[in-house]
Amino acid sequence: MRAIWKGSISFGLVYIPIAVYPATKEEKLSFRQLRKTDLSPIKYKKVAEADSKEVSADQIVKGFEYEKGQYVVLKEEDFAKVKIESTHSIDITDFVELGQVDPKFFYKPYFLEPQKGGEKAYALLHRALAGTGRIGIAKVVISNREHLASVKPDGLFLILELMHFASEILSPEELKSGPTSAITDKELKMAQSLIESMSVPWEPDKYRDEYRTAVMEMIEQKAQHKEVAGKPAPAVRATNVVDLVKVLQESLNRNQSLKPKRNGTRAASRSTSTLVKQKRRVAA
């Protein structure tokens, strides 16, 4: 794995040299546009709006439209002149309780690896955060952009998770929410029972992108010149539920029939989880 950024974590007078690594990857299918007659790939040309003439790469500059049709041109050296304090470090300015932060603020995690000389301070920060239930709130510059970010303990490592600024969070005021006054105690209790009966330990590996898998299977069949059989469309579910209690009861009954299978999975998961926790305690 290749580091995308190297710098340090700092809080108070503590300085920890670290390297930043991707913690996620996006698995998406990429398709090319082709000419139908001979499957020749389609290329895209960059043309100027003024005369529709193609523009070479060395003639393209970056511009910011500050008024309609009025631009300020910026060069790479202009960006290099912009120096702010968090350019080369993850500067933790505050520690807050994780539960106080709206989940919508978090959006992209990275692994943090301690560099030579920073191992002990790294381990100390990890254990201190894990013991207090708090996260560090910091500023960091990655790819010429300043980000709000958090430093969190995750397993045996620290992670840096980029965050939205408050101005980037949209308000749901215009959206409709379900009425609460019409909900009966019986409906609420049955819904809670259904949630409880479907509750299992978190196992991220069991959730797969089924659409991507199905598309890849179809591509493999077409590549082998095999006929792809279509599947019937699923039945459309009713959106206007009249008897909610009946639907909840049917859901509970259905889930009870699947319970032996669920319990078996849960027992295996718990034993695995216990082993992982034991290993972590020994490592700590």
Kindly report, residue by residue over 238-248, the tens digit of the pLDDT.
Answer: 555 567 778 88
pLDDT at 280: 47
Same-domain status, 193 and 149: no
Q: What is the mean pLDDT of residues 52-79?
A: 90
pLDDT higher than threshold 60 for residue 270: no
Strand partners, 157: 154
On average, the pLDDT of the chain sits at 83
Same-domain status, 193 and 118: no
Same-domain status, 192 and 150: no
Residue 94: inside a domain, yes or no? yes
Strand partners, 115: none
Same-domain status, 137 and 274: no
Residue 203: inside a domain, yes or no? no
pLDDT at 284: 43
Q: Concatenated DSSP letters for 29-59?
A: -----B-TTT-PBPP---B-TTT--B--GGG
For the chain, the domain total comes to 2
Q: What is the mean pLDDT of residues 24-30?
A: 84
Residue 254: inside a domain, yes or no? yes
pLDDT at 44: 87
Domain hosting residue 261, numbered range = 185-197+243-284
pLDDT at 93: 92
Report residue 60 as tokens. Answer: 């393209």
pLDDT higher than threshold 70 for residue 271: no
Residue 162: inside a domain, yes or no? yes
Q: What is the mean pLDDT of residues 147-170?
A: 94
Same-domain status, 275 and 160: no
pLDDT higher than threshold 70 for residue 85: no
CATH number of the domain bearing residue 121: 2.40.290.10
| Residue where the block lists tokens 């590996």 | 205
Q: What is the mean pLDDT of residues 268-280?
A: 46
Same-domain status, 118 and 158: yes
Residue 48: inside a domain, yes or no? no
What value, to the nearest 5°, has the Cα angle with vertex 97 and ends 177 and 201?
65
Cβ neighbourhood burial of 147 (10 Å; 0-12, 13-18, 19+): buried
72 or 209, greater pLDDT: 72
Same-domain status, 116 and 190: no
pLDDT in tens, 173-195: 877 776 666 788 888 888 888 88
pTM of the model: 0.69
Same-domain status, 100 and 136: yes
What is the band of 213 on the pLDDT scale with cuts at 50, 70, 90?
confident
Q: What single letter denotes the amino acid at residue 113?
A: E
Same-domain status, 13 and 130: yes
Same-domain status, 110 and 248: no
pLDDT in tens, 94-144: 999 999 999 999 999 999 999 999 999 999 999 999 999 999 999 988 877
Same-domain status, 277 and 145: no
pLDDT at 81: 72
Residue 51: inside a domain, yes or no? no
pLDDT at 241: 56
Residue 172: inside a domain, yes or no? no
Same-domain status, 264 and 151: no
Contact 140, 147 (CB under 8 A): yes
Residue 219: inside a domain, yes or no? no
